[in-house]
A and B are shown apart, each in its own frame.
Chain A
Amino acid sequence: KAGVTQTPRYLIKTRGQQVTLSCSPISGHRSVSWYQQTPGQGLQFLFEYFSETQRNKGNFPGRFSGRQFSNSRSEMNVSTLELGDSALYLCASSLRTSGGYNEQFFGPGTRLTVL
């Protein structure tokens, strides 16, 4: 079956603009998580969505937000972009059953460059 897809793959924005990134999880997966990857900070957890509700949030400012739709697709939005928001944004999906820990499957990422 198809893997996690992210669109767009590359994006260039200027400071102060806002951006929306999209993620389609693996069919049947209901949980979507977002991560930011930068050379300085590495891979950091942004937030997790399940059943259209944010379930967990990392230590990021309120400029970073997201949502999940009824078909489990997710979007994340960054408002008032700063140079430091330049990063690879990775989306991961999982089954998210009630017990144990569910393996996360990652998409190819969206490379955001802020000028």
Chain B
Amino acid sequence: AQSVTQPDIHITVSEGASLELRCNYSYGATPYLFWYVQSPGQGLQLLLKYFSGDTLVQGIKGFEAEFKRSQSSFNLRKPSVHWSDAAEYFCAVGVRSGNTGKLIFGQGTTLQVKP
């Protein structure tokens, strides 16, 4: 069955420090992978996506992610975190079945940024 695991429920980093959020997926075919961010009381904003091609993808707000098929991972990184990055981050895999599609999400990682 398809699944997404985000091993870290909560992460705290200092402002200006680097960040890596982990994501592992289980999916039999070529995955469509996404990272979303959610601020309190808000919907989900897409940070970046991987469909095919270059395994290092760039997103908005200075985020990037690397797809590693051998490790079934799609970790999110940012070289220097800003206080405004504090939010909840969700990794997701897009699953297609015929002409339908749905997203399967990980449990999320809450990022706290220390001044």
Q: Which residues of A contact B (CB under 8 A)?
A: 4, 31, 33, 35, 42-45, 48, 50, 55-56, 58, 90, 92, 94, 96, 98, 100-109, 111
Taking a contact as CB atoms closer than 8 A, the residue among A4, A42, A50, A103 that contacts B108 in the complex is: A42
Q: Give how many A-B residue pairs fall within 8 Å (CB-CB).
A: 62
Is the Cβ of B102 less than 8 Å from the Cβ of A33? yes
Is the Cβ of B103 less than 8 Å from the Cβ of A104? yes
Is the Cβ of B32 less than 8 Å from the Cβ of A101? yes
Query: Number of B residues whose C-beta is below 8 Å from A?
Result: 26
Taking a contact as CB atoms closer than 8 A, the residue among B36, B100, B104, B105 that contacts A55 in the complex is: B100
- Main SS class of interface, A: strand
Q: Could you say which residues of chain B place their CB within 8 Å of the CB of A42? A: 105-108
Query: Chain B CB within 10 Å — which of A4, A35, A56, A98 has the most?
Result: A56
Is the Cβ of A90 less than 8 Å from the Cβ of B43? yes
Interface residues of B in 50-101 (CB under 8 A from A): 51, 90, 92, 94, 96-97, 99-101
Q: In the complex, what residue of chain B is closest to A55 when comparing beta carbons?
A: B100
Query: What are 17 of the A-B contact pairs (CB < 8 Å)?
Result: A33-B103, A43-B92, A43-B103, A44-B105, A45-B103, A48-B102, A55-B99, A58-B102, A96-B101, A98-B99, A100-B32, A101-B32, A101-B101, A102-B101, A104-B103, A106-B43, A107-B43
